[in-house]
Structures are given as structure tokens and as C-alpha cells.
Amino acid sequence: MNQTTAFDPREFRATLGTFTTGVTIITARGADRQPVGVTANSFNSVSLDPPMVLWSLAKSSRSLEAFQQSGHFAVHILAAGQEELSNRFARSGADKFSGVDVGEAAGGAPLLPHCSARLQCRTSFVYEGGDHLIFVGEVVAFDRSGLPPLVFQAGKYAVATRKVTALAPAGGLDANWSEDHLPYLLGRAYFQVYFRIREQVRADGLNDDEYFILSTLAVRDGLTQGEIEAGLSHAGCNCGFPVLAGLRQRGLLRGEDGPGDLRWFLSDEGRRRTLHLIAAAKDIESSVLDVLGEWDAVALKNLLKQLVLSTDPGLPDLWNPSSPRSATAGA
């Protein structure tokens, strides 16, 4: 471990940043009745009996005087989806409350919605703390929603996830190679989640390729064979003409001459059956995510999205029609 004796402020900040915190917005109403609010991660608990919390505010903050005058403050422990609100309240002086549905906390402090938790406080003490003031408050009311919290780590937003004990090594294979090997984990997780959806697909007389084609067209109708193939290349799907023609023959698709090529659409029957399968797939997703819990569901999706983005070889983005890549799908 590096021991730093000379005081480099950037190093000091970075060192403090290794302490992972939640993110709060602290609000109050000044003597002029104007609302103030700042994003703060210096929040911490102090005492259970009496219930007390603290946070510190830079003396350079424009809201300093209002917090000193107010006598009350409200702490909002932000939820994972409130990153934008956090950024808004981290901008000095801006009109931070416009468009926000604000309630009223003790002492008139603005109360923000959709947080993980909120604490309404009466200011008990204000201490000098170098270039900050430390506000200690007695909690007079609190509530929590169960929403997963936003996390701040090393200067970046993050999400919280629980640690799990490792999977048992798969029989016969070298444990280091198998249980901790990313493609193995991804493949096994996919298989274990998808096989339940596959049962529904089979019960509807379809195979995986047909289901992938139908659900792709449910997102975006009127694609050419080339666009469908490009959009489903990651799934190793056979979307050749015989498969499309087979679906047409069974009344699930129709083909229309379009610019450059035949374009494929879901028939009414095809749409009805596909939406039914997608609803079943969503139910299965919900039951899997229920077992994980909301915090880990947010964390898992966040990590998978990061992995998808960081390894993307340039696949067409059929899900997002405004993406420039979707327009060239199959080209």
C-alpha cells in the first residue's frame, strides 16, 4: 500500500473516494422561503437514541446561508434511477426544483419523490469543519420505499449488489476454468433462464429461430431478410428464406415488395401469438428477477449492458429505430 506523506489534494480526494457511499440530496427552505438543495455524499448516521444524522456543506456553497437559517433540513437517499436528479442538484445555483413534484417536510423543507429513503431533520448543531460546516440533525420523521439506492464510488455512480458465495464447481471440469469463466457463466445463466421461455415457444409449435424472428418483427415490422439476419446474428439464428416462407405459409408472416427487397410483416395472427409469447417471457423474467431481488436485478442488468456495450463489434441496433446503425442494418 502506498503511504503518502506530502499532501497532494487530488490524491487526498481520490483516497477519500475509495470510501463507497450512497448519494443524497439535502434540501431546506431559507429565511426568504426560497427552496435550496445540494447533492451530498458526506451524509452519515450519528446516533440511534436520540436519532441523529450529519452531513457537511462546503462554505463556498451558495445555499450555505439558507441551510444555516432554516433550522430544518430533509435528507433524500437517492434511488439507483435518480442519477440525473443528483447531477441537477450538484450544479451550483441552477434552478434545481423546476419540474420536480415537491412535497413539504418538517420546517418547510422541500420533499422530493421516488427516493430510496427520506429523513426529515431539525438542525441540532452546526460545527466548523475546515472549509465545510458540519450539520447535525435530529430525525423527526422518516420513510423508505425499498427502491435500490444510487451508489458513489471513486468519483463515479454505481449500483449496489450483494456478494454471493461461488457456484459449486461443475463435476469433472477444472474449477478455475469452469466456475469463474465468464462465457461459461453467461452461457449457463442464459440457458437456465431461457429454457423456461423455450418450453412456451415449443408449446406454441415454434422453434427458437422462428420465435426470435417473430419477436424481432414485433419490435420492428417491415424488415428485409438481410436486416433480420443482421439483427439476429448474435443469436446464431437461421433466418433464411425457407424459414421466413414457412412462417408465411403458416399464416404468421406476410411479405410485401418494398424498396430493394421483400419486406416481412407480422400477420394479425402472427402478432397475436408473438405478443402472447412475449408476455409469457416477461412473466418468466419477473419471476427470475423476483428471486434475485430488485437491487441485484438493477446491478445485473447494469453489468450486462456494460458488457454488451464494451464488446459490441458493431451489431445493428434494431431496438432503437433512431440509432444510425439500425438504418443500415443488413447493409
Ligand X SMILES: Cc1cc2nc3c(=O)[nH]c(=O)nc-3n(C[C@H](O)[C@H](O)[C@H](O)COP(=O)(O)O)c2cc1C
Residue with smaller CB distance to ligand X, 43 or 264:
43
Residue with smaller CB distance to ligand X, 56 or 82:
56
Grid coordinates representing 67 are 441551510
DSSP 33: -
Residue with smaller CB distance to ligand X, 118 or 273:
118
Q: How far apart are CB 9 and ligand X at their closest, in Å?
A: 15
Q: How far apart are CB 29 and ligand X at their closest, in Å?
A: 14
Q: How far apart are CB 53 and ligand X at their closest, in Å?
A: 13
The three-state secondary structure class of 20 is: coil
Grid coordinates representing 64 are 450555505
Residues lying near ligand X in the complex (CB under 6 A) are found at: 23, 38-42, 56-58, 61-63, 90-93, 152
Residue with smaller CB distance to ligand X, 155 or 324:
155
Residue owning grid cell 443482421: 230
Q: How far apart are CB 88 and ligand X at their closest, in Å?
A: 9
Residue with smaller CB distance to ligand X, 154 or 279:
154
Residue with smaller CB distance to ligand X, 154 or 186:
154
321 Cβ contact partners less than 8 Å away, ≥ 6 residues apart: 220
Q: Kindly report whether the peptide bond that precedes residue 50 is cis, defined as omega within 30 degrees of 0.
A: yes
What's the alpha-carbon Rg for the chain, to the nearest Å? 27
Residue 246, judged by CB atoms within 10 A of its CB (0-12, 13-18, 19+), counts as: middle
The three-state secondary structure class of 27 is: strand
Backbone phi, then psi, for 275, in 5-degree steps?
Answer: -65, -35
Q: How far apart are CB 39 and ligand X at their closest, in Å?
A: 4
Q: How far apart are CB 159 and ligand X at their closest, in Å?
A: 14
Residue with smaller CB distance to ligand X, 152 or 212:
152
Q: How far apart are CB 149 and ligand X at their closest, in Å?
A: 13
Alpha helix (H) residue ranges in the chain: 9-17, 64-70, 83-89, 175-178, 182-203, 208-219, 225-231, 241-249, 268-292, 294-311, 324-327
Residue owning grid cell 430525525: 139
